[in-house]
Amino acid sequence: MSARMSKARVIRAKAEPLTFAQVATVAPAVFAKVPGITTLPGYEFIDTEMVVRTLMGMDYVVTEASQQRAENAQMDMGAKHMVRMRHIKNFSPEKKVGAVVPEIVIVNAHNASSKLHMYLGLWRFLCSNGLMVGETFDSQSFFHRRVDAATIQAAVNHAGNVQLPKVQEQVKLMQKKDIAPERQRIFATNAIALRWPEGTEAANADRILWPRRATDAGDSVWRVYNRVQENLLQGGFTALNRNLSVRPMEQVTNVIRINRALWDMALKLAA
């Protein structure tokens, strides 16, 4: 599939699910049909489009796509990419603020930089959070060997029937547990270190804990976690001691790493 490339490397659905044409503008590697030029003999190609179409056959729609930048157009077709998909029954953009629905997060690469991963994610409406379950639950991963539609269907069913109920219980646990302001600041400080090495911090704990909307104010682990996650990954505020705006995170590897680490840090607070 060909399309005019966008400068952005992430696109999110709004009123309607994303089309393949929209996905191709930011993540052309989703539609690659051959391995990247950096792979070795014995590497077996896994078609991301096949995975996406398999989920579509299970009534899932594409809600977000992103891809890491590569040195040139040829290498671009092998770069690591991510596709988030949600069951059509949970797509409605009219859900109330704060409503949370599950998503399947597909991560793949055709240059031997990543296995095929399928993560369980959560989406919080009107907040663009794109939460992702952490290391508490292993992602379902597949080496670059033969993977067919039946394998993908089984992975999706496992995420919905086995992983999701456990995640929902963890969300309830976070919602019930309040934490003191000092522990909130420690959590935020540790979160900042996930994005910025020491000495390069673009935000302090107070800024990362700042609620973007009244519904996010509060002391529960769930609300603190959501504020920190959104501010850390979405940016949009003036950097500390610098006259520039903090950009949203787009690199697939770091988005996944930070998202999953934050989830596990929040669970420890709720324990």
Nearest residue to 123 (alpha-carbon basis) of 270, 229, 16, 197: 229
73 vs 267, residue with greater confidence: 267
Instruction: Classify each residue of 11-28 as buried b or exposed e, where b means 16 or more C-beta atoms within 10 Å of its C-beta.
Output: bebeeebbebebbbbbbb
**How many domains does the structure of the chain reveal?**
2
**Quick check: 77 and 94 in contact, CB under 8 A?**
no
The answer to whether 252 and 82 are in contact (CB under 8 A) is: yes
Q: Report the pLDDT value the prediction gives residue 9, as an integer from 0 to 100.
A: 81
pLDDT digits (tens, 9 = 90+) for 172-230: 999 999 999 999 999 999 999 999 999 999 999 999 999 998 889 999 999 999 999 99
Contact assessment for residue 29 and residue 79, using Cβ atoms and an 8 Å cutoff: yes
Asked if residue 139 and residue 246 are part of one domain, the reply reads no
| The pLDDT of residue 4 is above 50 | no
Q: Are residues 96 and 19 in the same domain?
A: yes
Could you list the residue range(s) of the whole structural domain that residue 42 is in?
A: 10-172
Residue 76 has pLDDT above 80, yes or no: no
21 with 92, same domain: the answer is: yes
33 occurs within a structural domain: yes
| Nearest-5° Cα angle at 223, 217 to 229 | 110
What count of Cα atoms within 13 Å lies in the side-chain half-sphere of residue 157? Answer: 9
CA distance 132 to 119: 8
Quick one: 99 and 168 in the same domain?
yes
- What pLDDT score does 228 carry? 97
